[in-house]
Amino acid sequence: RRDPDFVDRGTLLDQIRERCAAPASRVALVGLGGVGKISSGGGSALQQHLSRYLPSSRHSSVLVTSRTRRAAMQVVEDSDTVPIPPMHDAAAHALLRKKLRGIREENDCIATLATTLDHMPLALVQAAAYIRERAPRCSVLQYLEEYRQSDSRKTSLLNREAGQLRRDETASNSVLITWQISFDYIRNTRESAADLLSLMSFFDRQGIQEALLRRPSSTANDDSFEDSVITLRDYSFITVTRDASTFEMHSLVQLATRTWLKSQGQVDKWRERFIASLCAELPYGQHENWAKCQALFPHARAALAQRPKDEKSLKEWALLLYKAAWYAWQQGRAGEAGHMSTVSMEVREEVCGEESAETLSSMGMLGLARELGGKYGEAETMHRQTLARYEKKVLGHEHPDTLTSVYCLAHLLAPRHRYKESLVLCDRASAGYEATVSVRAMRGDAKCAPNTNLLF
């Protein structure tokens, strides 16, 4: 029985206990679904004493489901809880095959769809229902192509209700809506946990370091941070890796969170927090920083899709992408280095001006990326434009950044058998560096070396 108005719940539980306590020839399995979903005073009071209604008899079994481990612990012992993780590959593939029965699909497509949807049963059922409804005009491959278009398209697909005969008719069949109910509850009961989830939703789903999530002055709030982590772990929204200071999430939880933030008018706020945090943590791409850059690069890749609106945040975003492009160039990733430096340059032209030192740094990086990718003509054009602007309008002929641009052009020309011009440029760069270091040393300037923004 189910009382949709939650009236006389205690009476229903009394009846369950009485019927299960008596010997019978049949086995009864009673399900108590959604324990912990009620936030009203009466619901909470009943939940606290729910365990006394559970029959203790060899003639009966009671299955309790809950979205949060903490609520489940109020009705059963810890040893009796069974976490339900996402489906493994074989089970997820079998579920899709069953739901798509009669529709021929390649094994690779089935496997890709299962992985894309994080092996979440409700999401898999939704996708299968969408494909079945539109077959033969829609296939798994076409669904994947649509899904990958944008966050808004993902949201549209995952918000579709997939009716299921044996599922509670009052419960949502949309995985996003189901999670967003929990998000609302978390925000109302522990706002700091909702804030933490909001920030985490913009990072790559793996390797989210604790340092990225704490404010610089947050040492006084250690208990609050830990309580927020516990809350999100209770709902299985995040997991802690073995090193205890790194977190992971499911990509669908991140999508659902960003969709929820958009509905609350909060997405810009948390996007800017994400960019500021990552920009502060990601170092420049010199060799000594490679280990840290490697750990943070997936988050920089995720940031590409998160262009902010605020001017201050745009500058941080452009700097973040410049740093990431530097590391990508050092690792031989010409495509990513070129894309990131192009976006960085265009944003800096927009907010800092075409002749700014920031814009020229990104332009020089783009030249290096083009050279790495074998586009030597484009690279030479980019290097010459950068050098000309440095010399005439920005820093002058002897500035270390100008000399770095000189060296970049020389480095490009030598392998192209243009030795004479390359040698002249190398001599100029070398003499300029020596003069700059000598002058600074005579002044007692501690900064005798080029600044940290330089490539060499």
Q: Please check whether residue 122 is in contact with residue 175, taking contact to mean a CB–CB distance below 8 angstroms.
A: yes
Q: Which residue has the higher pLDDT, 284 or 173?
A: 284
How far is the C-alpha of 402 from the C-alpha of 407, rounded, in Å? 9
Which amino acid type is present at position 416?
A: R
Reported as a single tens digit per residue, the pLDDT across 154-205 is: 999 988 765 554 444 445 557 888 899 899 999 999 999 999 999 999 999 9
Closest CA to 261 of 311, 215, 214, 200: 200
- Omega within 30 of 0 (cis) for the link into 450: no
Q: Give the architecture-level CATH label for domain 174-265.
A: Orthogonal Bundle (1.10)
From 202-206, 377-381, 426-430, the region with the lowest mean pLDDT: 426-430
Q: Locate tokens 């073995």: which residue?
A: 242
Q: Which residue has the higher pLDDT, 65 or 456?
A: 65
Which amino acid type is present at position 396?
A: G
How would you class 192 by CB atoms within 10 Å of its CB: exposed for 0-12, middle for 13-18, buried for 19 or more? middle
Residue 440, C-beta contacts closer than 8 angstroms, at least 6 positions apart: 447, 448
In order of 166, 179, 261, the CA distances from 174 in angstroms are 15, 9, 17
Reported as a single tens digit per residue, the pLDDT across 323-351 is: 999 999 999 999 999 999 999 999 999 99
Reported as a single tens digit per residue, the pLDDT across 112-132 is: 999 999 999 989 999 999 999
Q: What is the pLDDT of residue 321?
A: 98
Tell me the average pLDDT across 370-378. Answer: 94
Kindly report the backbone phi and psi dihedral angles of residue 208, in degrees, each rounded to the nearest multiple of 5, phi listed first. -85, 105
Q: What is the pLDDT of residue 227?
A: 94
Q: What is the pLDDT of residue 221?
A: 67
295-302: which pairs have CB atoms within 8 A and are 24 or more residues apart? 295/207, 295/209, 296/209, 297/324, 297/327, 297/328, 298/204, 298/206, 298/207, 299/203, 299/204, 299/207, 299/208, 299/212, 300/324, 300/340, 301/204, 301/336, 302/202, 302/203, 302/204
Closest CA to 274 of 239, 246, 305, 232: 305
Question: In the predicted model, what is the mean pLDDT of the chain?
Answer: 83
Reported as a single tens digit per residue, the pLDDT across 243-269 is: 999 999 999 999 999 999 999 999 999
- Return the number of other C-beta atoms located less than 10 Å from residue 325's C-beta: 28
Q: What is the pLDDT of residue 379?
A: 94
Q: Which pair of tokens denotes residue 70?
A: 């903490």
Residue 251, C-beta contacts closer than 8 angstroms, at least 6 positions apart: 118, 205
How far is the C-alpha of 148 from the C-alpha of 228, rounded, in Å? 31
Q: What is the pLDDT of residue 396?
A: 72
Residue 40 pLDDT class (50, 70, 90 cuts): very low
CA 414 to chain CA centroid, Å, is: 42
284-456 placed in CATH 1.10.10.10: no
| Residue 37 pLDDT > 70 | no
Reported as a single tens digit per residue, the pLDDT across 132-145 is: 999 989 999 999 99
Domain ranges in the chain?
9-80, 89-158, 174-265, 284-456
Greatest Cα-to-Cα distance within the chain, rounded to the nearest angstrom? 100
Residue 275 pLDDT class (50, 70, 90 cuts): very high
Closest CA to 112 of 84, 148, 72: 148
Residues in the chain: 456
Q: Which residue has the higher pLDDT, 234 or 50?
A: 234
Kindly report the backbone phi and psi dihedral angles of residue 338, in degrees, each rounded to the nearest multiple of 5, phi listed first. -65, -45
Reported as a single tens digit per residue, the pLDDT across 317-330 is: 999 999 999 999 99
Q: Which pair of tokens denotes residue 110?
A: 């089935």
CA dihedral sign of residues 396, 401, 403, 409: negative
Q: What is the pLDDT of residue 3?
A: 47
HSE of 442 in the Cβ direction (CA atoms, 13 Å)?
Answer: 5
Closest CA to 111 of 129, 131, 90: 90
From 11-20, 414-423, 427-436, the region with the lowest mean pLDDT: 11-20
Q: Which pair of tokens denotes residue 201?
A: 């939703």
Tell me the average pLDDT across 416-442. Answer: 75
Q: Please check whether residue 132 is in contact with residue 103, taking contact to mean a CB–CB distance below 8 angstroms.
A: yes
